[in-house]
Amino acid sequence: MMAKAFDEMTALGSDTRSGYELVKSWLANTPTDLLKQRQHEAELLFRRIGITFNVYGDAEGEERLIPFDIIPRILTRPEWDRLSKGLTQRVTALNMFLKDVYGKAECLRAGIIPEDLVYRNPYFRPEMLGLNLPHDIYVMIAGIDIVRVDADTFYVLEDNARTPSGVSYMLENREVMLRLFPELCSRHRIAPVENYADELLNSLKSLAPRSASGDPTVAVLTPGPFNSAFYEHSFLADKLGAELVEGRDLYVRDNVLYMRTTEGPKRVDVVYRRVDDDFIDPLSFRPDSVLGVPGLMSAYRAGNLTLANAVGTGVADDKAVYSYMPEIIRFYTGEDAILKNVPTYRCREPDAVRYVLEHIEELVVKEVDGSGGYGMLVGPKADKATCAAFREKLAAHPEKFIAQPTLALSTCPTFVGEGVAPRHVDLRPYVLTGADGVRTVPGGLTRVALKEGSLVVNSSQGGGTKDTWVIDPFRPGMASEAQTPIVIHSPEPPVVDGATPEAALQQSQSQS
């Protein structure tokens, strides 16, 4: 039986937690119909902007909106500073770990992690052995998934070290909140996220190869418009001021990567890739790939190209490797992990798998290389037949699974069909690493499980997103402002490109 979930606005009682005073007042004094109208307007804005995604395997193949919740999630500055320190420590250790496993492998010789978890890992790339990367940085962009269980305890749920997605939603969520709720936003000192693109571009350019020009050229490599995250790829390229390219737009000559342009070939120094390792170079990996660039790895190995993130970083996102992160952090930094791991049963170990098989109805069981909410069992929410089928898979291949206790994830107030109700959330902060160090973007992307009681926040499983505010304490005099009701003064919908959202949507539909 799960413990009662910690509510981030009211804790376990009726008192309002620090940071939520104005939000609680706003919710108490704004009619439900008006909130519902704003929720509808937010959806229209997202449709107008074009923020959609596809779910692979969806029989209808239609594009979907990721639902957006209009009630922000609040983190106070002290809470964020604690998280930021832990994230910096963790990503620093991840980069040291990857440099080591593709270099001297000291952690393997010291017995910190079993060799087979690295060398038999499907994401381990022998092509990276002995390769020297600029400033020894493998993970330039990390998305570290965090869950909360009480006022003081945050756990890392998983590390995303390959191509963490969702940053476009973080940025667009903030834009929509500023447009729909300027009164509420102006009453808080909210840490900005708008400088993310500048920070990312600076980090990428700082890791350009030595042979690059004084102003390195950055390109965003996408699989193309049929990819589920294509909107984000094009969004990021636009924000970075970089070219959005597909494999067919690039070629390698004399171990240098070039981009075809109307003015002739142009050298590319840094590629922010959203193409998986397997497909990035048909000469090195899958020969049937038409998404990559023949010879790309030759340019990479020659030191004439930087790839973000580096090839082979998937070793660090493996969920079995994740279970060793406390030991990995201690080995490389000499410090205890600031952010805890969720207690994890490694099913490759006989005692652990025996326990999991006997208690599967109480646990969350995950495939070690699973993602997106797929390949997992939430025991307390599953029926007997599903648990039995999963038990068979686990017994047949225990090395492919880990298991964790079912945490009582924190909840945040969320606007749902019947009004405001608590829903479970997680947090994906984004961490950038460049030549000059590690930067954390204040807040990140909050994902929310919109179904009552659900713990699965992934968009592919019906989850939504929230704007995440890192706020400083009230300014002098703001204590009295907290007692002043905040309402939406005008029921008039905001203007989008010279038209209301409804008119803009009608116009776009008539043009399609």
pLDDT tens column, 102-148? 999 999 999 999 999 999 999 999 999 999 999 999 999 999 999 99
The pLDDT of residue 490 is above 50:
no
CA–CA–CA angle 425, 201, 268 (5° rounding): 125
Enumerate residues 6+ apart whose C-beta is below 8 A from 128. Answer: 102, 310, 311, 312
* Residue 292 or residue 1, greater confidence: 292
DSSP-derived secondary structure letter, 343: P
DSSP-derived secondary structure letter, 421: E
For 427, list phi and psi in degrees, rounded to 5: -145, 130
DSSP-derived secondary structure letter, 329: H
Cis link prior to 309 (omega < 30° from 0)?
yes
Which range has the top average pLDDT, 37-51, 238-252, 364-378?
A: 238-252
pLDDT of residue 3: 64
**Dist. CA 280–CA 289, nearest whole Å:** 8
Q: What percent of the chain is helix, strand and coil (3-state, nearest 5)?
A: 35, 20, 40
CB atoms within 10 A of CB 9: 22
pTM of this structure: 0.89
Give 315's Cβ-side CA count (13 Å radius).
Answer: 28
Mean pLDDT of 400-427: 92
**Dist. CA 93–CA 234, nearest whole Å:** 31
* Residue 496 or residue 167, greater confidence: 167
Nearest Cα neighbor of 466 from 450, 453, 482 is 450
Residues composing the chain: 512
Q: How confident is the model at residue 372 (pLDDT cuts 50, 70, 90)?
A: low
**Dist. CA 212–CA 435, nearest whole Å:** 15
Q: Is 126 exposed, middle or buried, given 0-12, 13-18 or 19+ CB atoms closer than 10 A?
A: exposed
Residue for token digits 């038409």? 290
Helix, strand, or coil here: 217?
A: coil
Cis link prior to 202 (omega < 30° from 0)?
no
Nearest Cα neighbor of 409 from 381, 440, 443, 367 is 381
Helix (H) or strand (E) holding 376: strand 376-378
**Dist. CA 250–CA 265, nearest whole Å:** 9
Average pLDDT along the chain: 89
Mean pLDDT of 437-445: 95
Percent of the chain whose predicted confidence (pLDDT) is above 90? 76
Q: Are the C-beta atoms of residues 56 and 228 closer than 8 Å to each other? A: yes
**Dist. CA 427–CA 100, nearest whole Å:** 29
Query: Which range has the worst mean pLDDT, 272-276, 411-415, 448-452?
Result: 448-452
pLDDT of residue 373: 58
Which range has the top average pLDDT, 52-56, 185-189, 459-463?
A: 185-189
Per the structure block, which two tokens stand in for 10? 């009211």
**Dist. CA 118–CA 122, nearest whole Å:** 9
Q: Is 52 exposed, middle or buried, given 0-12, 13-18 or 19+ CB atoms closer than 10 A?
A: middle
Residue for token digits 């970075």? 240
User: Pairing state of beta strands 243-245 and 218-221?
Assistant: parallel
Q: Are the C-beta atoms of residues 95 and 137 closer than 8 Å to each other? A: yes
Q: Are the C-beta atoms of residues 443 and 170 closer than 8 Å to each other? A: yes
Domain boundary assignment for the chain: 1-82+128-193+408-512, 343-406
**Dist. CA 32–CA 420, nearest whole Å:** 8
The CATH code belonging to domain 343-406 is: 3.30.1490.270
Q: How confident is the model at residue 489 (pLDDT cuts 50, 70, 90)?
A: very low
pLDDT in tens, 57-95: 444 455 667 899 999 999 999 999 999 999 999 999 999
Per the structure block, which two tokens stand in for 375? 């390949």
Query: Which range has the worst mean pLDDT, 48-57, 157-166, 398-407?
Result: 48-57
**Dist. CA 40–CA 48, nearest whole Å:** 12
Q: Between 196-206 and 167-180, two packed helices, what is the crossing angle to 10 degrees?
A: 150
